[in-house]
Amino acid sequence: MSFLPVTFSQLIKAKASELGFSACGISPAKRLKEDDNRLMQWLESGYHGTMAYMANHFEKRVNPAELVEGAKSVVSVLLNYYTSKKQEDPQAPVISKYALGKDYHQAVKERLFRLLSYIQTDLAPCEGRVFADSAPLLEKALASRAGLGWIGKNTLLISPKLGSFLFIGELVLDLELDYDEPFGNNLCGSCSRCMDSCPTGAIISPSLLDATKCISYLTIETKDEIPEQLAGSLSNRLIGCDICQEVCPWNSRSEQHQVPEFQPIQELLEMTVPEWQILEKPTYKRLFKGTAVERAGFDRMKNTLGFLSGSK
């Protein structure tokens, strides 16, 4: 009986699983031709709002080979962050699941650096870079090209096995590997729950998001004031928004993550409405140090709290 040799790609995927990643796929480091026009039209329509950085480094954004000299492969990984734990006060302003624990950038990157070290030490000498929402890369498109899922009507990557509560990371390598087949199907079908449920109408057509209306953009990304016409439309969301994921049927069987860093901060879960109303900077710094909430900043959070309470 003869056995096929284990390939580098298989070993990389096995190591990724050992490091705790929920899924791993590999694609060629080539230009994302199918996403070029789509991104350009999105930018020209102004749907990126004040996120000027989205228009920068356009060629790098659509071509991962621009980020590493001689790049040949992109290793895409997914890390589940779903938690069934919720804030205990049902009237408290809502924090998105991704921000209930420690900052995901560090958690994903730390594991990716270990994966890169394994490849360089145990498999083959190579050069590579680690990315986790930290460079001009179309991460969802790359993950789909690597066979990990499709981009749903809510513009998020959806895995048929894992749903969409997922962080995405990449290794861009100058190493030739075996590549996965792109995920060719869009399994949203006729479902429009995400579009119908978005309280601000940010999903203006399937897989097309006007970020300037998205609650995540309004509460985190922009420094502008939240438009008064959206008063009462934020569904009590303070940091980010999970509504389009909560209603998605593909998330109905989401499993609890197994990442220690993503365990929700208990004090955060226990905060009551009065405690949020009197939130001061020292408490903010202590509670949110090392979390993704730091990106929004104290002033942004206080402004949003005022907007939600109707005092602003």
Q: 35 catalytic, yes or no?
A: no
Q: How far is CA 216 from CA 17, 75, 96, 170, 210, in A?
A: 30, 27, 9, 23, 11
Q: Catalytic: which of 36, 133, 174, 180?
A: 133
**Among 145, 68, 134, residue whose Cα is nearest residue 107:** 134
**Could you give the count of Cα atoms lying within 13 Å of 221 in the half-sphere of its Cβ?**
18
Give yes or no for a contact between 178 and 222, defined as CB atoms under 8 angstroms apart: no
Q: Is 163 left (phi over 0), alpha (psi -120 to 50) or beta?
A: left
Specify the residue for token string 């699941």: 97
3-state secondary structure of 24: strand
Structure tokens at 109: 């990157």
113-119: long-range contacts, CB 8 A cutoff, minimum separation 24: 114/19, 115/12, 115/15, 115/16, 115/19, 115/21, 115/75, 115/77, 115/171, 116/171, 118/12, 118/15, 119/8, 119/12, 119/15, 119/171, 119/173, 119/175
**Catalytic machinery residues:** 133
